[in-house]
Chain A
Amino acid sequence: MRGAAKRVSLRGLLYLVLGAQSLVVLFPLWLMFNSSLKASRQIFRDPFGLPNPVFWKNYLKLFVQQSYERYFLNSIGVSVVSLLLIVVVTSLAAYAIGKYRFRGNQQIFFYFLIGLMLPIRLGTINIMQMFIRVNLYNNLLSLIAIYTAMGIPAGILIFTGFIREIPDELRDSARIDGYGETGIFLRIIVPLLTPAIVVVAVYNLIPIWNDFWFPLILINRDELMTVPLATARLFGKHETDYGLLFAILSAAAIPPIALFVTLSRYFIKGLTAGAIKG
């Protein structure tokens, strides 16, 4: 093949492959959302057709009979508090690590980074015992503690990278202006960290929101369940009601997809932070 013809066919091939992958990604998700708006009978008779008529009752059942919103509230509460804690404690520690030279600085940084490679669930036995001992079994605080610990390594990595880029002159001139160390952090550093704060929060949000393992181990009271655990429990309970099953799955899938679509830029930044540079 010669020049121009080759280029055209390559372009065609490119769109063909990307188009095929788009179908592979979208088809199962479309099937799920589409079926969630159908009556079970139509799901079986006509699995690929559009909802006819649109059957909202699946969602009504989910929210009215199953009070699904409380699982949402639990998930939102746990995620928001954990993210706040992660941002606060890791930005403080990253500032100390990134801007001060002291003995053990590198070792502490390394100690935090080990956590990036360690699945926290290997410590589940002890975690469970610990929470039973302090009477926090069946308490959302236990999840908050775990998720905060889980988010610390990535938070430290991302914040330290950002903080090291901030020129020292800013700090020195603030000192001359009479700011104390805390004043410098709050007035000078934190405002500059805003983009990093978003990256850290968004990066940690998805694993926290989606975690199933720790609620499965630490929560068994229905009113305390988070979305993934409630999804599994409801799924097992209504095995034959396909319309409801797809509504359950769609309700669990919509928030992370919506968040990702709006915040994907920050998410991708968090994922590749450090890893590429290092």
Chain B
Amino acid sequence: MRQRKIRLFLIAYLLPALTIYTVFMILPILQSMRYSLYTGTGIRPDQFVGFGNYVKLFTQFPFRLRFFNVLKNNVLFFIMVSVSQNVFGFVLAVLLTRRFKGRRFFRSLFFVPTALSVIVVGFVFKLILNPVWGVFDRMLRSLGLEALIRPWLGDPALALPILSLVTAWHFVGIPIIFFTAGIDGISDDIIEAGRIDGVSVWGEVRHILLPMLKPIIGIVTILTFVGNFSEFEIVYSMETVYGNPEYATDVFGSFFYRTAFGTVMNNVNDVGLGAALASIMFLIIFVGVLFFLRITRRET
């Protein structure tokens, strides 16, 4: 009797969360994979084509061109964001865990951009960098660096690195918070012992902090990876859904949006093809997460 009552109680407690999570998150993601095998016009593709959508993406013009371009851009975007963000974040975290006046203040201050919407950040930097207002160019000019001035967001070679730096500016607070928490968690004895043995700052970083922070570096890298391979807003706000200039900043997120949901300019959308893209994004993220979990696992 009592056992049964407890079972009913458990079901009642688990059911709301399980239902909402399954219906609005898990099933839609799985359903997208099923739709990737269908084609048709309109919102619900109904014609089975097997792997036709994938074949189209990998072999047909212009999809093949766009697909391999976004793959390349997204990999580069991830490398540039995670390297700059994690290196800066790590250096700042090492500094922020020393004992000095005001470290709490700096910890909070460096996190402020992370509280903002990507849309706001993207638009602010778009205004700062554009030649019409030209504040960034004016700053360079006043430093005597006039020769460096470029059409920052209009140069295909520069646009993606700039978007990566803006993203790193926005999210550097996350590695800072994770790394400071990690370093704070390392017992003072270990660090003290190293200092007594005369280990240099660099030696301390290399032989004590980095090995002990490996699992945290893994988590931060995974968060960045998942975020970058579904990124859309920074491209939308700074370079439109077309990933201007000349698709130099087109990534999976913007390609997926254009394909599945159409655009203002040409209201052509192909839901089956979009679903195939979503499935490929899922696969990349899944494999990437497993990979980074594996290589950053704590050795036992």
Contacts and interface: CB of A to CB of B under 8 A. Distances in A.
Interface of A: 10-11, 14-15, 17-18, 21-22, 24-26, 28-29, 31-32, 43-44, 47-48, 85, 88-90, 92-93, 95-97, 100, 102, 108, 112, 114-115, 117-130, 132, 145-146, 148-150, 152-153, 155-156, 181-182, 185, 206, 209-210, 212-213, 217, 227-228, 231-232, 235, 242, 245-246, 249, 252-253, 256-257, 259-261, 264, 267-268, 271-272, 275-276
Nearest to B7: A102
B100 A125 contact: no
A235 B123 contact: yes
B80 interface: no
B10 A256 contact: no
A220 B237 CA distance: 18
Contacts, number: 240
B233 interface: yes
A261 B107 CA distance: 11
Chain B interface mostly helix, strand, loop or mixed? helix
Contact of B98 (A14, A31, A146, A206): A14
Contacts of A85: 20
Contact of B106 (A22, A120, A213): A22
A31 B25 contact: no
Interface in B81-96: 88, 91-92, 95-96
A21 B271 contact: no
B14 A276 contact: no
Interface in B103-150: 106-120, 123-125, 127-128, 133, 135, 138
Given A120-B25, A152-B20, A212-B119, A47 B14 contact: no
Contact of A14 (B6, B44, B100, B174): B100
B169 A210 contact: no
A206 B115 contact: yes
A228 B117 contact: yes
A25 B113 contact: yes
B285 interface: yes
A96 to B, nearest CB: 4
B20 A126 contact: no
A268 B177 contact: yes
B174 A271 contact: yes
Given A32-B124, A117-B289, A132 B10 contact: no
B120 A125 contact: no
B181 A257 contact: no
A149 B27 CA distance: 11
Contact of B28 (A22, A47, A90, A127): A127
B107 to A, nearest CB: 8
Interface of B: 5-7, 9-10, 13-14, 16-18, 20-21, 23-32, 35, 43-44, 88, 91-92, 95-96, 98, 100, 106-120, 123-125, 127-128, 133, 135, 138, 169, 174, 177-178, 181-182, 185, 201, 216, 219, 222, 226-227, 230, 232-233, 236-237, 253, 260-261, 271, 274-275, 278, 281-282, 285, 289
B38 to A, nearest CB: 11
Given A85-B20, A227-B117, A275-B216, 9 more contacts: A25-B112, A92-B13, A115-B26, A130-B28, A212-B236, A257-B112, A260-B111, A264-B108, A275-B178
Given A32-B124, A129-B43, A146-B24, A93 B95 contact: no
A129 B111 contact: no
B32 A117 contact: no
A17 B91 contact: yes
A61 to B, nearest CB: 17
